């Protein structure tokens, strides 16, 4: 009886902590670099679709590529010299949002990720809910040779603003997306002066950003860190066509951003 009681008392002191995997994108023709604060001691790949090697002469940089395109979701586990475990969920992306990711030796995660795994799941669910919502923003659009882009909506939750974009391709020629980027720019600049702009990296993207087929439309939701703008600045949303000239750009001003609609979990 004493052994049973003491065994139960011991078990009550045991705590379990779940390590949520961090999202990671890799591709065929570009290298993704993971830069750790300590040497990499162990690497476990969930499948052969991941190609991994340590950088030559450097023990704390792990280089990754995809062995084939469009592989199913897999995982990667890295253990570093200080005994810390890093867990990743790995997906294929033609153009990864981040190619160089550095981890600091404190408890904060790198800029490419959120502060905790639960936040990742929350943002993903919110983006999925926003995607089918009806248009709430009017007049923010651009078009070029039967390709169009609209800012349909702006939503805010905590420290994140969600940008709901819709692209429509009215032509028979598919629109292959080279890049979709966000910049804060000056409204006016002095003649001959350099363009002043700051790129804002999305925290999360919902929707296939590779192509819009002929005579079709597609909705994207980009999650960006919350910010507002000075009167002399605006947000430029730039879409570049791969091997084409139908480049598009949306100019979003502060009066539109501050009207973002609150959204709850």
The torsion region of residue 9 among left (phi > 0), alpha (psi -120 to 50) and beta comes to: alpha
Mean pLDDT computed over 211-220: 90
| Domain of 47, in residue numbers | 11-116
pLDDT over threshold 70, residue 15 = no
65: its two tokens: 């590529």
| Residue 138 shares a structural domain with residue 90 | no
| Residue 108 shares a structural domain with residue 141 | no
Q: Which residues pair with 51 in a beta bridge?
A: 65
Strand order in the sheet with 100-102: 50-54, 61-66, 32-35, 100-102
Q: Is 36 helix (H, G, I), strand (E, B) or coil?
A: coil
pLDDT over threshold 60, residue 87 = yes
**Helix (H), strand (E) at residue 6:** helix 2-12
Which position has the higher pLDDT, 17 or 122? 122
| Residue 139 shares a structural domain with residue 251 | yes
Rounded to whole angstroms, the Cα distance separating 265 from 263 reads 7
| Residue 109 shares a structural domain with residue 133 | no
What is the value of pTM for the model shown?
Answer: 0.57
Rounded to whole angstroms, the Cα distance separating 54 from 29 reads 18
Q: What pLDDT shows up at residue 39? A: 83
In this structure, the strands spanning 100-102 and 32-35 are parallel
Q: Concatenate the DSSP letters of all residues of 174-204 into one string.
A: -EEEEEEEEEEEES---TTPPP-EEEE--SE
Contacts of range 252-256, beta carbons closer than 8 Å, 24 or more positions apart: 252/140, 252/151, 253/229, 254/228, 254/229, 254/230, 256/137, 256/140, 256/151, 256/154
- Residue 170 burial (CB count, 10 A): 13
64: confidence class by pLDDT, cuts 50, 70, 90: very high
| Residue 103 shares a structural domain with residue 190 | no
The answer to the question of residue 173 being in a domain is yes
Q: For the chain, what percent of residues have pLDDT higher than 90?
A: 50
| Residue 60 shares a structural domain with residue 101 | yes
Q: Dihedral of CA 190/194/200/205: which sign?
A: positive
Q: For residue range 89-140, what is the model confidence (pLDDT) as tens digits? A: 999 999 998 899 988 765 433 333 344 444 666 888 899 999 999 899 888 9
HSE at residue 25, side-chain half, CA atoms within 13 A, is 17
Domain count, the chain: 2
Q: Which residues pair with 172 in a beta bridge?
A: none
> Closest Cα partner for 259 from 153, 160, 187, 135?
153
In this structure, the strands spanning 85-92 and 22-26 are parallel
Q: For residue range 226-243, what is the model confidence (pLDDT) as tens digits? A: 999 988 899 999 999 988
Q: Are 135 and 219 in contact (CB under 8 A)?
A: no
| Residue 92 shares a structural domain with residue 172 | no
191: its two tokens: 């003649």
Which position has the higher pLDDT, 43 or 16? 43
The answer to the question of residue 180 being in a domain is yes
Last residue of a domain, one of 82, 116, 150: 116
Which position has the higher pLDDT, 115 or 206? 206
The answer to the question of residue 122 being in a domain is no
The answer to the question of residue 169 being in a domain is yes
194: confidence class by pLDDT, cuts 50, 70, 90: low
Q: Are 220 and 237 in contact (CB under 8 A)?
A: no
Mean pLDDT computed over 158-178: 92
The answer to the question of residue 74 being in a domain is yes
| Residue 197 shares a structural domain with residue 175 | yes
């Amino acid at each position: 009886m004493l052994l049973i009681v003491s065994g139960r008392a011991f078990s009550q002191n045991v705590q379990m902590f779940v390590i949520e995997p961090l999202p990671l994108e890799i591709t065929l023709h570009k290298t993704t670099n993971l830069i750790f604060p300590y040497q990499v001691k162990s690497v476990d790949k969930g499948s052969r679709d991941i190609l991994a090697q340590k950088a030559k002469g450097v023990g704390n940089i792990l280089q990754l590529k995809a062995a084939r395109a469009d592989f199913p979701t897999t995982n990667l586990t890295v253990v570093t010299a200080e005994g810390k475990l890093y867990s990743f969920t790995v997906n294929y992306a033609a153009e990864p949002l981040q190619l160089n990711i550095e981890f600091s030796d404190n408890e904060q995660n790198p800029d490419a990720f959120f502060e905790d795994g639960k936040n990742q799941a929350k943002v993903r669910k919110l983006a999925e809910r926003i995607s089918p919502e009806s248009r709430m923003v009017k007049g923010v659009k651009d078009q070029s040779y039967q390709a169009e882009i609209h800012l349909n909506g702006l939503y805010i939750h905590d420290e994140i603003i969600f940008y709901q974009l819709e692209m429509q391709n009215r032509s028979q020629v598919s629109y292959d997306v080279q890049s979709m980027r966000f910049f804060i720019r000056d409204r006016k600049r002095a003649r001959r002066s350099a363009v002043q702009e700051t790129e804002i990296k999305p925290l999360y993207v919902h929707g296939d950003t590779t192509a819009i087929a002929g005579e079709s439309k597609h909705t994207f939701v980009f999650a960006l860190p919350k910010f507002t703008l000075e009167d002399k600045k605006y947000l430029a949303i730039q879409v570049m066509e791969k091997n084409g000239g139908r480049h598009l750009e949306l100019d979003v001003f502060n009066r539109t951003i501050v009207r973002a609609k609150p959204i709850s979990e």
